[in-house]
């Protein structure tokens, strides 16, 4: 029984990583590109133009994947606590 909990913790942790890491990196890369575009506009002297920020924030899919990763990480932690409590 304890090994099933440990296996569940490992699988849930791996699932959290696989769901969350790509969403987080794509969000950070997009933010970096937006910041570089703003810096370039400032360098070209167009930063004073009144306009809305080009930053989008997270997409719905990225947000869903990060919530899924958080839920899987909590499940992994619960399995790990259960493993140590049983063994």
Say which residues have a Cβ less than 8 Å from residue 35's Cβ, sequence separation at least 6.
none
What is the tens place of the pLDDT at every residue in 71-86?
999 999 999 999 999 9
Average pLDDT of the residues in 6-25: 96
**Of the candidates 8, 26, 21, 22, the residue with the CA atom closest to the CA atom of residue 83:** 8
How far is it, in rounded angstroms, from Cα 11 to Cα 7? Answer: 6
Sign of CA dihedral 57, 58, 60, 66: negative
Q: Identify the pLDDT of residue 57.
A: 80
For the stretch 18-58, pLDDT in tens is 999 999 999 888 887 777 777 777 777 776 555 555 556 88
Q: Which has the higher per-residue pLDDT, 12 or 57?
A: 12
All structural domains of the chain with their residue ranges: 2-46+57-86
pLDDT in tens, 59-68: 999 999 999 9
């Amino acid at each position: 029984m304890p090994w099933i909990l440990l296996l569940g913790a490992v699988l849930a942790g791996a699932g959290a990583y696989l769901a969350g890491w790509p969403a987080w990196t794509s969000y950070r890369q997009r933010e970096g590109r937006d910041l570089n575009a703003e810096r370039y506009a400032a360098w070209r002297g167009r930063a004073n133009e009144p306009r809305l920020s080009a930053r989008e924030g997270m997409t719905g899919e990225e947000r869903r994947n990060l919530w899924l990763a958080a839920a899987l990480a909590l499940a992994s932690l619960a399995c790990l606590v259960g493993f140590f409590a049983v063994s």
